[in-house]
Structure 1
Amino acid sequence: MLAAFEQEAKQVNKPRLMITAAVAAGLSNIQAGYEIAELGKYLDYFHVMTYDFYSSGDGQTGENSPLYSGNNVYLSVDYAMNYWKSNGAPAEKLLVGFPTYGHSFNLQNPSNTAVGAPTSGPGPAGPYTKEAGLLAYYEICTFLDSGATQAWDAPQDVPYAYKSSEWVGYDNIKSFNIKVDWLKKNNYGGAMVWTLDMDDFTGTFCKQGKYPLITTLKNALGQQSSSE
């Protein structure tokens, strides 16, 4: 494919089409699915899906995209990206995944709201995304406005929130900025987002402007658009 793209670029006198791949962040999936060093020769970018580390099937609360490891050393953005890099993927080709959604849980005991607290299944579906156990960022803003308690998971550098038996682990502007600082220090190639339509694209839910998370990401990476 690379040779074909290079040939086409010469024929049409334009830059070569890029070859990228969205790749797993879970250790067992990485080990089972990829020849990392070999891929590094051909791919222009690895889009590492550094999210969905914890979800409602785990039986306990957990962060969707923790920067650093908590109870499980393998489940974090930092561990996954370091694994790809140390096993042959060039840092400048590695793009860190930033989620604009969170995973929600139903607490077994509403008085135990800690990270790692026992759960009895997914949290209720959001009014728009309509999927149990998942909330878009703009739905999380509505949850916060409804009187949910916000908390900061200091060891993992991401927030969570809870109200009665509902618990959600997610990312916000603060955690995005922390992750970008970490990304720059580790000289990774950049970032990718999943997904555009789960950010507050109208700017009406979170009162943080349109696309608050993605705008934060762009600004922190020095990618401000003059049209904004």
Structure 2
Amino acid sequence: MTIWGDQIDKAQMSKLLISLPFYGHTWKLADPTDHSVGAKTTDKGPLQPFTNFTGLIGFNEVMLKMKDGGLTMEEDKDAGSVYFYKDDLWITAEVEATIKAKTNWATTEGFGGVTVRAINNDDFNGYVTTKKHPLLTAVNEGLNKN
């Protein structure tokens, strides 16, 4: 997005929106002991119950797997994101902090704002997280720069 922004008239920046996915992507690691960014993979991750697609995982599923003690979360500071892993499963997904930071960045840089993909993956009932709709709340906080 920064590259696009550098190539257009700054007055046009407000017409660009940053898309925030409320889902993650999964991969099978070639070496279950190497879970670093850029580790080799052999395939997409397994089919997930709420997404019904191989390689995709909903926010609630990630949080449930983490709460069950199954996943470890790591921060990728260079990318401003997080990833999760266990054995040969590797997952990238947005969490409250990354959603808030990316929303704040989008508006600070002069983009028009953000759009959300797969809003149905937010935790609307507070089932997995301690509050209702944590990802939408993070978008709001990022827009309001709280």
Residues 222/181 of structure 1: CA separation in 2 closer, same or farther (3 Å cut): closer
Aligned-pair CA distance for 1:102: 0.5
How do 1:69-88 and structure 2 match up within 5 A? 81-88=1-8
Uncovered stretches (5+) of structure 1, i.e. residues with no partner: 1-80, 224-228
Report the Cα distance in structure 2 between the residues aligned to 1:86 and 1:144, rounded to whole angstroms: 38
Which is further off, 156-165 or 121-130? 121-130
Uncovered stretches (5+) of structure 2, i.e. residues with no partner: none
Report the Cα distance in structure 2 between the residues aligned to 1:221 and 1:204, rounded to whole angstroms: 25
Residue 135 (structure 2) pairs with residue 135 (structure 1): no
Report the Cα distance in structure 2 between the residues aligned to 1:208 and 1:155, rounded to whole angstroms: 28
Query: Which residue, out of 106, 114, 117, partners 2:28?
Result: 106
Letter in 2 for 1:177: K
Query: Is the Cα–Cα contact under 8 Å of residues 102 and 142 in structure 2 kept in the other structure?
Result: no
Q: Which residue of 2 aligns with 1:166?
A: 89
Aligned-pair CA distance for 1:217: 0.2
Query: Which residue, out of 12, 20, 37, partners 1:115?
Result: 37
How do 1:41-52 and structure 2 match up within 5 A? none
- Total equivalences in the alignment: 142
TM-score, length of structure 2 as denominator length: 0.89
TM-score, length of structure 1 as denominator length: 0.59
Letter in 1 for 2:137: T
For the aligned residue pairs, the C-alpha RMSD in angstroms reads 1.7
Q: Which residue of 1 aligns with 2:100?
A: 177
Runs of 4+ off more than 6 Å: none
* Structure possessing the higher relative contact order (Cα contacts under 8 Å, 6 or more residues apart): 2
* Structure having the larger proportion of residues in strand: 2
Query: Which residue, out of 150, 171, 189, partners 2:73?
Result: 150
Query: Is the Cα–Cα contact under 8 Å of residues 19 and 117 in structure 2 kept in the other structure?
Result: yes
